[in-house]
Structure 1
Amino acid sequence: MVLSDVKVIYIWKRCSWIFMKNLSKNVSPNIGFLRELSMPQSYIAYLAMHVLDRKATWKRCQEAYKRWGWSDNHIVSAFRRDPRCMILSEKKLMATMDFLVNKMGLESQAVAELPDILSYSLEKRIIPRFSVVRVLLSKGLIEEENLSFSYVAKTAEKYFLSAYLTKYLDEVPQLSNVYQGKVDLCTL
């Protein structure tokens, strides 16, 4: 039963507007759409009422990802990995992709394999961490082939700081300032 899922109950409480709508007209087609995408039932229960009631949201994100060269397969694959990637604002999506692709040099399609990165805060997590990594790469202190962008973005703060910041402070004393956004990368 759907109501046994704690996450769904939370969404239902938060989105009580759904009970005001015609469920068979609005929600049922979306559930069918998710099943066509081979989504697990647990995601369907969570998302059917939260995300895809707005097909316009899906279309907007789909069009934005296509501007970055993603195919329909990339989009569906990213959605299966992290459904939140289809509810981001266009501004957030474009800013994060711009930073990762144009400033960090990641392949656009590689981001499709790590779509949860797109949900992280650009200012508080993505830019500080990837800026530190960029400095370490430029100084030759780490090698790109040994680097896991997934680890950089997803690992807990204390592990990131230990692996990429405190470990290299003797070689790059300004690294803390880079992480805090106090130093322009061009000056290093």
Structure 2
Amino acid sequence: MLAALPDAITAGFFFLVWWAPQALGPHAVRTAVLIMLVEFVLVHAAGFIGRIAIERKLGLVDKLRLMLPLLLGYGLFVGAWALMWREWWPFLAFAWLVVGKLQTGTDPSLSQQEQEQQVKGFWGLSVVIYLLVAFVTVIVPMPRFGITDTDYGLPGAGLWMESPHIVVAFGAIYFSLLSLARYAVSKPVDDQSPMDHC
């Protein structure tokens, strides 16, 4: 259940921004848009980082040594956005989202092979969820709720910058589905119904 918590908290943030953006300050919408850009990078990185994290033959120092180049490489994208948006906190968002990604495959009761399958499976699932929700939120009209303004100081152009309620809806739905998926994967076998074994 704890594995689902980072994504659930992030989903809650997006729902609050969607419903009442001013409750979190004047830059909440801007923050949400940038978090989804950072998540785009991490969707790609999650499988690699997760695979290193669960490797039992490696000690912590070796895992960090292997992860560091990956994190620095993906961090370059985050750094470019931080410069473009003139913000420093995207690095905090990057770290927070990495913590969420590292929750997959960490159950010590699973074998190495089961952990690998869980990491690969969840990585694939997160890519599918990301693409599917991105598509749906672009095609299906999303309610604006509290995001009634169109000028939130977003740099650049494009659908997300011109209609920020779409990307905020995307984040709310995406992180909710990730949280539910992590919860379902992390439930102990004893919690499943007898019908699950048929």
TM class by shorter chain equals under 0.3
Q: Give the number of the structure whose alpha-carbon radius of gyration is greater.
A: 1
TM-score under structure 1 normalisation?
0.25
Greater relative contact order structure (CA < 8 Å, 6+ sep): 2
